[in-house]
Structure 1
């Protein structure tokens, strides 16, 4: 059976779950290095010498399965060539799996320059994290992460490439980056709401398609004063690098998006969302953050409506 993985990280996670080890030499890319740094920080894997080289060894398979459910809610595979799913594939691909039903926590993947506190422990992200290393914290509805640095600017990032290359892609200042890994859990949304209520600023930097806008709309339901970041040259980028198939595949999400936006109270964030939606409609194209990075290879000035007050 041929397995078509969503991306390289998905392939590495599958290998780790199946073989309980991955050569360190296979994780040299920025995205893979950041991912395995998170897993090591969370204690899910450890690095040891095995055979002819260093290996990442799996120590907690159940925690890894939960991490995969959180990070790849749609599964690791782009498509399935066989109706008979293995036990591992079933856990990773089924949105109604036993793991998902019992999951009462979420992983908060972060990097930045702030100080955070969780379960009585204080963490200095300026010391612990950088473009290649992030801090992975386990949060729940009853145990949230406290942000000790006042008036912080928090950027929620949907895509691993953008999370790693944020300094190159994000023109505005920021203090804390949170990797949302696609669709955010309710626990993560509650965490964002908590920070929002403590007068920290939230900025969403996601894909420019219906699914990405729907994620921002979900944030607005919990944090009405959140902002949407998008480049001033977004229309040009959509025309040059956009993908028409993205929007064609998201008809269902588009309907949900329109209904969600209709119910949102008026705010700057809602206005920004509508502005980007109009650009998607005008160009009939969507743009994922990978395409944004490839198309720019430099910091992108934000649209005037997208700047922070």
Structure 2
């Protein structure tokens, strides 16, 4: 998206009402904005003789914003938020990327060898911020609970990694990786995360279980809020694995959580 798009969506995030005449036509007629309206995350309200747009579902809009602009650079401090809004979470702040790691082999971290197996077996995980990481076989896991038991599904050969918050390309560019697997929810947000990772590591593959269609038919849940909004890159992707999941989600308006893969 363009810089003006970011500023417009950010104004909505800050609670502003934007009049119909002021909202850029490019945004007004975009599929993303239409989906925000259709899902009730943004509402169109009559004001006097005109209309304005404002956020009606703050939680899901924040999720949408962080997914669409995962690592937009800002210089906003928490103390500044408190002074201006009396709320340290009122708007996005610049933070360092925090990653959780699990695995059963040694890795290179900040040019040092780390026995990741020791930390996994004794403490459950290893946490590090903004790392320079090198490993031969890695699996990105979107959600925390599946991350904590991923080896039960995918084995002990991978280094499993989970980021606190959405993954952006900037945070993983310092990594040096061999094989890369991406294990996410089978929805628009998961596909968006996969495409962001693949933009940095073209060798990355999306994990899709062999019985995916059966699992989807039995356990798929209705799309709600932010999960019903597909990013521009998800909608335009021609990758077969993305097209497969996207079409299924769009057709049934349902998605499959990665947690279901751990159920018998």
Q: TM-score surpassing 0.5?
A: yes
Partner of 1:123: 114
Q: CA separation of 1:153/1:131 partners in 2, compared to 1, >3 Å: closer, same or farther? A: farther
Question: Match of 2:171, SS?
Answer: helix
TM-score by length of 2: 0.60
Partner of 1:272: 241
One of 125, 146, 152 as aligned partner of 2:134: 146
Cα distance in 1, alignment partners of residues 200 and 140 from structure 2: 14
Cα distance in 2, alignment partners of residues 234 and 89 from structure 1: 46
Contact 1:112–1:126, Cα closer than 8 Å, also in 2: yes
Question: Match of 2:185, SS?
Answer: coil
Cα distance in 2, alignment partners of residues 249 and 229 from structure 1: 22
Shift of 1:228: 0.5
Partner of 2:185: 207
Total equivalences in the alignment: 184
Partner of 2:250: 281
Partner of 1:162: 146
**Residues 206-242 of structure 1 deviation map (CA, whole Å, 9 limit, x = unaligned):** 1110000010011111111210101122222222211
Question: Match of 2:172, SS?
Answer: helix
Q: CA separation of 1:285/1:159 partners in 2, compared to 1, >3 Å: closer, same or farther? A: same
Partner of 1:195: 176
One of 161, 177, 181 as aligned partner of 2:160: 177
Q: CA separation of 1:119/1:195 partners in 2, compared to 1, >3 Å: closer, same or farther? A: closer
Contact 1:155–1:204, Cα closer than 8 Å, also in 2: yes
Contact 2:97–2:164, Cα closer than 8 Å, also in 1: no
Partner of 1:245: 223
Shift of 1:183: 1.5
Q: CA separation of 1:186/1:218 partners in 2, compared to 1, >3 Å: closer, same or farther? A: closer
One of 222, 234, 238 as aligned partner of 2:200: 222
Q: CA separation of 1:178/1:93 partners in 2, compared to 1, >3 Å: closer, same or farther? A: farther
Q: CA separation of 1:185/1:254 partners in 2, compared to 1, >3 Å: closer, same or farther? A: closer
Cα distance in 1, alignment partners of residues 226 and 202 from structure 2: 28
Contact 1:159–1:181, Cα closer than 8 Å, also in 2: no
Contact 1:154–1:201, Cα closer than 8 Å, also in 2: yes
- Structure 1 segments unaligned to the other structure (5+ residues): 1-72, 75-85, 263-269, 298-309
- Structure 2 segments unaligned to the other structure (5+ residues): 1-65, 68-80
Shift of 1:182: 4.8
Contact 1:157–1:177, Cα closer than 8 Å, also in 2: yes
Question: Match of 1:216, SS?
Answer: helix
TM-score by length of 1: 0.52
Question: Match of 2:230, SS?
Answer: helix
Question: Match of 2:234, SS?
Answer: helix
Q: How big is the alpha-carbon RMSD for the aligned residues of Structure 1 and Structure 2? A: 2.9
